[in-house]
Amino acid sequence: MKTSIAAMAVRHGTWLAAGLLALMSAPAQAGKEGRMGTPVISGAGASQTSTLVQVCAAATGARAGFSVQWMGAADYAANGNAWYSSDDPRLCKASFSGNANGSRYDLDPGECVTVSLGDLLFDNGASANCVAVLACGTDYVVRAFAHATSTLTRSDFTAVVSLSTLACGHRGGGCTFAQDYWRVFNPPACLTHPGSVLCIDWPVTSLTLGGVSYTVDELVAMLNAPASGNGLLELAHQLISAKLNVAAGADAAAVATTIAAADALIGSLVVPPVGDGYLDPGVTAAYTTSLASFNQGAIGPGACVPPDPGADF
């Protein structure tokens, strides 16, 4: 037989009734303290095959990082100005973890970072289900949210932002290739893909990063090495690409100062996997982002359209 709280209070005293009432009114499981503040996103440049998105943390910061979602503006409109469901493979999603070792996506309140969609930076903490380049001359819609922490649930989505890639065939006084082009199209590829479009000569036979000279084979090894939280390697990926683009004829005016500053910062450090040099990603982030913007065509003369590697890629 069930016994009412009132009856138990008469039998055992008011202190028991008060205790039971307090127990019944308490939540079954303590929840998190609140919600992460919603970040602010904006366009930060574009190439024919990618677009740059600046993500700025709200007052709560974004210490666990953030996620960005995007889809074609035409698809968004055809879907009733609505996003595809989260489990729909047509919805492109990228996660930028702030918890990864050495991640540059651990944002303090008001701190900003720029990420690329369509040509994701090859650095620690970034992952995506859509890794193909974006279509030239195309409009996209983008939104983001801050990841949950141990005390706060994930933020609301940001407002929808419309971004566009550059028109197809965009040129401007010599053009630039992104990091992945130089990583895949190079002289060492001739050993495994002789006669294919992957087998190309570079405009140099060596490059100096900081005060150290490297062979083409060593440079390709660097481009293929995951940064794993090492800001020196993240910077080297973009510095190699920028120097190759300039050597191939791209106007360096937009990044000449950055290239010189990056070389000064690297100094005598030897870049992995050739050496074991290291720089904190927070120290290199600004240079890395600026050089990536140049290589991707967001600043400077604009992006080249890479050849179709076909089945060799």
Q: Could you please report the per-residue DSSP string of 51-114?
A: EEEEEE--TT-BTTEEEEEEEEHHHHHHTTS-PPPTT-TTSEEEEEESSSTT-S--BPTT-EEE
Residue type, 177: F
Closest by CA position to 130, among listed 143, 144, 116, 114: 116
| CA dihedral over 89, 95, 99, 102, signed as positive or negative | positive
Residue type, 261: A
pLDDT digits (tens, 9 = 90+) for 104-124: 899 999 999 888 887 766 566
Cβ atoms of 284 and 209 within 8 Å: the answer is no
Q: Is the peptide bond before 188 cis (omega within 30 degrees of 0)?
A: no
pLDDT digits (tens, 9 = 90+) for 223-252: 999 988 899 999 999 999 999 999 988 999
User: Cα separation of 291 and 240, whole Å?
Assistant: 10
- Give the homologous superfamily in CATH for domain 34-164: Immunoglobulins (2.60.40.10)
Q: Where are the alpha helices (DSSP H) in 92-212?
A: 179-184, 189-192
Q: What is the pLDDT of residue 214?
A: 97
Three-class SS state of 142: strand
Strands 92-97 and 40-46: unpaired
Cβ atoms of 138 and 71 within 8 Å: the answer is no
Outline where DSSP puts E strands in the chain: 34-35, 40-46, 51-56, 65-72, 92-97, 112-117, 126-128, 139-146, 152-153, 161-164, 206-209, 212-215
Which residues, in sequence order, are CB contacts of 89 under 8 Å at separation 6+?
129
Cβ atoms of 64 and 146 within 8 Å: the answer is yes
Residue with tokens 């953030």: 66
Q: What is the pLDDT of residue 118?
A: 79
Give me the residue spans of the domains in the chain: 34-164, 179-304
CA 130 to chain centre: 12
What are the average pLDDT values for consecutive 10-residue runs of the chain, which has 313 residues? 36 37 39 88 81 92 94 95 94 89 86 83 74 83 96 95 78 76 90 82 94 96 92 96 93 95 98 96 93 90 74 45
Strands 206-209 and 152-153: unpaired
Closest by CA position to 35, among listed 148, 158, 144: 148
pTM: 0.58
Three-class SS state of 153: strand
**Greatest CA separation found in the chain?**
94
User: Cα separation of 148 and 81, whole Å?
Assistant: 27
User: Cα separation of 307 and 298, whole Å?
Assistant: 20
Cβ count within 10 A of residue 311: 5
Q: What is the pLDDT of residue 59?
A: 96
